């Protein structure tokens, strides 16, 4: 089962905020006078210009907050390596794990024998966790026996510049499947909320027309629709 | 003349965003279910708890964007040392300085003889700048002769955690007067927009009841009103 | 079993680097002339001054790199939340786990019945991992069934400013025992390598004479020896 | 007159530190056993592999500290926008400016009439500064009348990953001439100290064989020698 993502907060009018900040850099106007109004066509002009010249810092003024459920701790450990992001994660020190929820990799689900091994082991791990708790072992210690695949929940805030960076790394076909699935869901929500900020966004095959990996997968993306319509 | 500050964008319902993220850390609920509603009294409870235990990371989920005009380059050079912030500053490479606008320090304004020296020098610097431009010197080089006090405009985004840090350093009576004036104006706007996030915020004399400086000024602040009502 | 830490690289003469940078801030000398020689007594003077006035940025010029083995993924997940640090961690995507090495919490080791549950479960997890690999499941997916307590190895670089911050948080008696054990071993090595940089360093009870936690443990540290001599 | 740069500290054996950290990510060895010895030929292999696959984080383990003199405050204001770096800068709040030292842009030096305007103005600014000080105006306020071109001194630490990023931006022919001159001097020193870490390093025309700018200058660099041998 794959993670679920909701957009729970964002900078209002994020495209106008970014474009206005960009305009200020090149204009003699005062900062307080420069804010672009709704429908101002120069918003798209400024956003395109920023992208084309690689002037990405104005994208930092718009932030997006996501609620994420059903992500494995394997993926959350990777995720929190992104330093320009803010995370609030459910604590296994304080919260008792009550269900056998864990992320099952697709390669495991696809093979009945593997699925059986995985599910039995998961069940026995939850059982051992419960017995350790019953013996008085603190939650923060009993969790050492839980599997890496155990589900976690978290809130995540990134600004639009870091989101672009995140998408460029994590939407490549060579990225690990679970964080790629997370990235795809975040992109779908961010793109819907602020199309001009994220049109386009993704791996270098899409945004720069060339692969930045040492070994190309040989299947470059040609559109955002292609990225967004992939199965998990 | 002192700088002018406007709040131009912010995370909506910032107090609920921060409190909801905090609640998730200690709750078995799903991230997507945890969002606190308007008027939920636990918002203030969670914000107070976070402050008291020093768990500040949830404050990162709420961001505020300010338009700043009339700030000297002396102050902007200090300001951009805050790394956990985003800046878009008017470029002196691309924008021609057209007026003799510069920040005059209060100590200079208060002394007629000093004020006269300052203003004559400012005027002659603007004149030299104009003559260099007229000779074909690029703007980015002619600006080397402009005074440090020359005014700049910028947009600035900080999250609530960094704002607290900024206020703790820059609202101390020993901070440089201009950045302190900027900090006071930012605090007034942030506090009005999200009182529960910034009640209290300021130097350690106010928030911790003791001075964190090596040499105390001997005049601790006892309330936010006292900080906010100071003259520039 | 607890983690093992080695200091594998560091800025040479770190105390003189930090003190020289500090001296520059307050001196009309040229940066290239200011470097303090071995045995210069003003090194300790400048380091004390910086600590007393809270001017911590010069401590960033000295870095320390540690090799860490035998740390659980529970602890490494916490550790990588420190953003002002650099990590290179053994990858479970690429490296096959070959032994049943996992960190056993002291609370589990101390209770024979719990230890028995833990070890059986660990053994069965390693067995399941091996069978999944044998079935052709990729390493990056089979690891979902490994326990959180599984050992990892990593290299870690922090500068002296971030080390102070790390020690202040992670050497408190209320910190999680494993990351606290790691912090103690890192402090012992850093302190031996550069005593004047880390004298003192630790939680606020030691460095500021007061507890910064909401609920004090009631047992303040009174010396670094006391911190360093604790059992894991 | 252009800035002067000295390398005053660095991680010893930086190439082996980075390569060893990289090796750990892909090896079942323990971190404490993995350190590559002097002359180990796999150092260059690992460094090339990292570059080719864009796995840049191991480059963060090696740091370099530079003493910089004769840099204008125009350039230092740009420089401190690099957030992943550490700066200790001579303070104009505490240090009295005693000489008329300022950076004169080459475009100004090349034109006698401009040079004359510039030098007269510089001289009159220093004179005004001195008279303000004599009237009792604090140094931190009198400096508002000093020109942006006034020289500053600073110490600067960057790790090798950030240095690569810095060089990619600041060695482009379209970068501002003074920060480009600084970057060239830093590259020359870093490259001499650790050739395998910085071979190659520079703008995208050199390292990726294509221009990353919106408008190419039309004169791509073809070798590091070409970059390093340019006049200021």
Q: What is the pLDDT of residues A37-54, one digit of tens each?
A: 888 889 999 999 898 888
Please name every residue paired with A72 in a beta bridge, in sequence order, or none if there are none: A151
The arithmetic mean of pLDDT across residues A90-95, rounded, is 86
The C-alpha of B65 sits at a distance from chain D's nearest C-alpha, in angstroms, of 18
What is the C-alpha to C-alpha distance for residues C13 and B79, in angstroms, rounded to an integer?
A: 31
pLDDT on residue B71: 97
**Closest CB from A81, A135, A150 relative to C111:** A135
Q: Do D144 and B118 touch (CB under 8 A)?
A: yes
The arithmetic mean of pLDDT across residues B127-156, rounded, is 96
Q: Do C17 and D8 touch (CB under 8 A)?
A: yes
pLDDT tops 60 at residue B1: no
pLDDT on residue A14: 97
pLDDT on residue C212: 80
Please name every residue paired with A155 in a beta bridge, in sequence order, or none if there are none: A67, A88
**Closest CB from C49, C52, C213 relative to B53:** C213
What is the C-alpha to C-alpha distance for residues D174 and D131, in angstroms, rounded to an integer?
A: 40
pLDDT on residue C231: 66
Q: Which residues of C touch B49 (CB under 8 A)?
A: 214
Burial class (CB in 10 A: 0-12, 13-18, 19+), B38: exposed
Residue D76 host element (H or E) = helix D73-79
The arithmetic mean of pLDDT across residues D5-17, rounded, is 97
**Closest CB from D12, D17, D154 relative to C31:** D154
What is the set of active-site residues of C?
Answer: 170
A39-69: buried (b, 16+ CB within 10 Å) or exposed (e) per residue? Answer: ebeebeebbebbbeeebebbbbbbbbbbbbb
**Residue A139 CA neighbour count, 13 Å, CB half:** 9
Find the closest chain B residue to D74 by CA distance.
B144
Find the closest chain A residue to C106 by CA distance.
A141
What is the C-alpha to C-alpha distance for residues B71 and D223, in angstroms, rounded to an integer?
A: 43
SS3 for C189?
helix
Q: Which residues of C touch B213 (CB under 8 A)?
A: 53-54
The C-alpha of A88 sits at a distance from chain B's nearest C-alpha, in angstroms, of 6
Q: Which of A74, D94, D32 is nearest to C150 (CA)?
A: A74
Give me the residue label for tokens 């932030």: A63
What single DSSP character describes residue B61?
A: G
Q: Which residues of B touch D135 (CB under 8 A)?
A: 111, 113-114, 117
From A73, A170, A180, A184, active-site residue:
A170
What is the C-alpha to C-alpha distance for residues D61 and B41, in angstroms, rounded to an integer?
A: 47
**Residue B15 CA neighbour count, 13 Å, CB half:** 23
The arithmetic mean of pLDDT across residues A159-181, rounded, is 96
- Does residue A98 or residue B200 have the better pLDDT? B200
Confidence band for A212, pLDDT divided at 50, 70 and 90? confident
Cis status of the peptide bond prior to C200, with omega within 30 of 0: yes
Q: Do B17 and A60 touch (CB under 8 A)?
A: no
The token pair at C99 is 């032994």
Residue B153 host element (H or E) = strand B151-159
Length of chain A: 232
Q: Which of B8, C21, A60 is nearest to D83 (CA)?
A: A60
D105 near B137, Cβ under 8 Å?
A: yes
The residue of A46, A49, A53, A170 whose CB has the most chain D CBs within 10 angstroms, and thus the best one to mutate to test that interface, is: A53
What is the set of active-site residues of D?
Answer: 170
Using an 8 Å CB-CB cutoff, list residues of chain C that contact chain A. 72-74, 76-77, 80-81, 83, 87, 92-93, 102-105, 107-108, 111, 113-114, 117-118, 120-122, 124-125, 128, 131-132, 135-138, 140-141, 143-150, 176
**Closest CB from B80, B113, B128 relative to D117:** B128
pLDDT on residue A106: 96
Q: Beta-carbon neighbour count of residue D103 at 10 Å?
A: 25
The arithmetic mean of pLDDT across residues B219-230, rounded, is 92
Q: Which residues of B touch D72 (CB under 8 A)?
A: 144
pLDDT on residue C23: 93
The token pair at D57 is 């984080």
ipTM over 0.90: yes
Q: Do A65 and B61 touch (CB under 8 A)?
A: yes
Please name every residue paired with D159 in a beta bridge, in sequence order, or none if there are none: D63
CB pairs under 8 A between A and D: 14
The C-alpha of C35 sits at a distance from chain A's nearest C-alpha, in angstroms, of 33
The arithmetic mean of pLDDT across residues D196-205, rounded, is 93
Q: Residue B63 phi/psi, 5° resolution?
A: -120, 155
pLDDT on residue C1: 54
What is the C-alpha to C-alpha distance for residues D98 and D153, in angstroms, rounded to an integer?
A: 14
What single DSSP character describes residue B228?
A: H
Q: Do C147 and A149 touch (CB under 8 A)?
A: no
pLDDT cut 90: percent of chain A above it? 76
Cis status of the peptide bond prior to A53, with omega within 30 of 0: no
H helix intervals, C38-176: 42-53, 73-79, 106-109, 112-134, 139-142, 160-170
The residue of C103, C144, C232 whose CB has the most chain A CBs within 10 angstroms, and thus the best one to mutate to test that interface, is: C144
CA A58 to chain centre: 20
Q: Which chains touch C (3 or more CB pairs under 8 A)?
A: A, B, D
Q: Do B9 and A4 touch (CB under 8 A)?
A: no
Q: Do C212 and B54 touch (CB under 8 A)?
A: yes
List the Cα angle B189/B194/B195 in 5-degree steps.
Answer: 95
Q: Which residues of B touch D106 (CB under 8 A)?
A: 141
**Residue D223 CA neighbour count, 13 Å, CB half:** 3
Please name every residue paired with B205 in a beta bridge, in sequence order, or none if there are none: none
The arithmetic mean of pLDDT across residues B111-129, rounded, is 96
Handedness of CA B165, B169, B173, B175 (dihedral sign): negative
Q: Which residues of B touch C211 (CB under 8 A)?
A: none
Please name every residue paired with C64 in a beta bridge, in sequence order, or none if there are none: C10, C158
Q: Beta-carbon neighbour count of residue C31 at 10 Å?
A: 29
Edge to edge, the sheet with strand D4-10 lists D4-10, D63-72, D151-159, D86-89
The C-alpha of B213 sits at a distance from chain C's nearest C-alpha, in angstroms, of 6
What is the C-alpha to C-alpha distance for residues C175 and C168, in angstroms, rounded to an integer?
A: 10
What single DSSP character describes residue D103?
A: P
CB pairs under 8 A between B and D: 130
D10 near D63, Cβ under 8 Å?
A: yes
A148 near C145, Cβ under 8 Å?
A: yes
Q: Do D65 and C17 touch (CB under 8 A)?
A: yes
Burial class (CB in 10 A: 0-12, 13-18, 19+), C41: exposed
Residue C65 host element (H or E) = strand C63-72
Q: Which residues of B touch A88 (CB under 8 A)?
A: 21-22, 24-25, 57-58, 61
Q: Which residues of C touch B212 (CB under 8 A)?
A: 54
Find the closest chain D residue to A211 by CA distance.
D53
Q: Which residues of D touch B124 (CB under 8 A)?
A: 121, 124
The token pair at A81 is 């390596």
Q: Residue D206 phi/psi, 5° resolution?
A: -80, -50
**Closest CB from D103, D120, D137 relative to B108:** D137
pLDDT tops 90 at residue A99: no
pLDDT on residue D95: 85
The C-alpha of D6 sits at a distance from chain C's nearest C-alpha, in angstroms, of 7
Summarize pLDDT for B45-65 with one digit per residue, the tens.
Answer: 999 989 888 889 999 999 999
Q: Residue C78 phi/psi, 5° resolution?
A: -65, -45
D183 near D166, Cβ under 8 Å?
A: yes
What single DSSP character describes residue D42?
A: H
pLDDT cut 90: percent of chain D above it? 76
- Work out the end-to-end distance of chain B between its first and last CA atoms, rounded to an integer number of angstroms: 9
Please name every residue paired with D181 in a beta bridge, in sequence order, or none if there are none: none
pLDDT on residue B77: 96
Print pLDDT tens along chain C (232 aa). Answer: 589 999 999 999 999 999 999 999 988 889 988 888 888 889 999 999 898 888 899 999 999 999 999 999 999 999 999 999 999 999 888 888 776 689 999 999 999 999 999 999 999 999 999 999 999 999 999 999 999 999 999 999 999 999 999 999 999 999 999 999 999 999 999 999 999 999 999 999 999 888 887 788 999 999 999 999 886 5
The C-alpha of B105 sits at a distance from chain A's nearest C-alpha, in angstroms, of 21
Active site residue A131: no
Q: Which residues of B touch C213 (CB under 8 A)?
A: 53-54
Q: Do B118 and D150 touch (CB under 8 A)?
A: no
- Work out the end-to-end distance of chain A between its first and last CA atoms, rounded to an integer number of angstroms: 9
Q: What is the DSSP string of A158-227?
A: EEHHHHHHHHHHHTSTTS-HHHHHHHHHHHHHHHHH-GGGSSS-SSHHHHTSS--SSS--S-----HHHH
Look up the pTM and report it.
Answer: 0.96
The arithmetic mean of pLDDT across residues B104-121, rounded, is 97
**Closest CB from B6, B25, B31 relative to A32:** B6
Q: What is the DSSP string of C15-31?
A: HHHHHHHHHHHT-SS-G
Find the closest chain C residue to B216 by CA distance.
C53
pLDDT on residue B231: 66
| Long-range contacts, D207-212 (Cβ 8 Å, 24+) | D207/D168, D212/A54, D212/D168
Pairing label, strands D151-159, D63-72: antiparallel
The arithmetic mean of pLDDT across residues A64-88, rounded, is 96
Residue A205: left if φ>0, alpha if ψ -120 to 50, beta else—which one? alpha
The residues, any chain, with a CB within 8 Å of residue B115's CB and separated by 6 or more, are B104, B108, B109
The token pair at D153 is 């001194």
The arithmetic mean of pLDDT across residues A62-67, rounded, is 98
A64 near A7, Cβ under 8 Å?
A: yes
What single DSSP character describes residue D155?
A: E
């Amino acid at each position: 089962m794959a993670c679920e993502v909701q957009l729970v907060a964002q900078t209002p009018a994020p495209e106008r905020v970014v474009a206005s900040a960009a305009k200020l850099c090149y204009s003699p106007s005062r900062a307080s006078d420069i804010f672009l109004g709704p429908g101002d066509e120069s918003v798209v002009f400024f956003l395109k210009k920023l992208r084309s010249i690689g002037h990405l810092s104005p994208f930092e003024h718009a932030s997006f907050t996501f609620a994420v459920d059903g992500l494995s701790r394997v993926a959350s450990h990777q995720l929190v390596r992104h330093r320009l992001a803010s995370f609030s994660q459910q604590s296994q020190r304080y919260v008792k794990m009550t269900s056998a929820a864990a992320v099952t990799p697709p390669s495991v689900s696809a093979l009945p024998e593997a699925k059986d091994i995985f599910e039995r082991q998961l069940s026995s791990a939850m059982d051992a966790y419960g017995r350790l708790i019953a013996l008085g072992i603190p939650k923060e210690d009993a969790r050492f026996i839980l599997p890496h695949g155990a589900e976690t929940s978290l809130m995540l805030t990134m600004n639009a510049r870091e989101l672009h960076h995140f998408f460029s790394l994590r939407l490549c076909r060579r990225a690990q499947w679970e964080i790629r699935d997370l990235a795809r869901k975040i992109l779908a929500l961010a793109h819907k909320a602020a199309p001009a900020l994220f049109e386009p966004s993704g791996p270098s095959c899409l945004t720069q027309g060339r692969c930045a990996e040492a070994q190309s997968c040989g299947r470059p993306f040609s559109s955002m629709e292609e990225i967004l319509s992939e199965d998990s």
